[in-house]
C-alpha cells in the first residue's frame, strides 16, 4: 500500500503516479515475480496531520 498526501489540484500527485507506474511495470514483467500480481491500496492523508498518518 501507499500513503500519500491529499492533493487539491487533481486526483493524484507525481509520487502516487510513480508508485502505480512501478507496480504496473513489475506486473507486466513476468520474470521478476512469477505467478505473482502486486496490487495497491492508496490511502490519502492531510500532510499536516501526523496523528492521522500514524493511525494508517
Q: What is the pLDDT of residue 30?
A: 93
Confidence tier at 53 by pLDDT (50, 70, 90)? confident
Number of domains the chain is built from:
1
pLDDT over threshold 70, residue 19: yes
| Residue ranges making up the domain that contains 32 | 2-55
**Residue listed under C-alpha cell 500532510:** 47
For residue 44, the surrounding DSSP H or E stretch is strand 42-45
* Average pLDDT of the residues of the chain: 84
- Output the nine-digit C-alpha cell for 6: 491529499
Higher pLDDT, 48 or 33: 33
CA distance 12 to 34: 29
Q: What is the pLDDT of residue 21?
A: 95
pLDDT over threshold 90, residue 1: no
The answer to whether the beta carbons of residues 33 and 26 sit under 8 Å apart is yes
Amino acid at each position: 500500500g501507499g500513503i500519500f498526501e491529499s492533493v487539491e489540484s487533481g486526483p493524484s500527485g507525481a509520487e502516487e503516479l510513480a508508485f502505480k507506474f512501478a507496480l504496473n511495470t513489475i506486473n507486466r514483467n513476468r520474470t521478476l515475480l512469477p505467478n505473482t500480481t502486486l496490487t495497491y491500496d492508496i490511502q490519502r492523508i492531510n500532510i499536516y496531520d501526523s496523528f492521522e498518518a500514524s493511525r494508517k
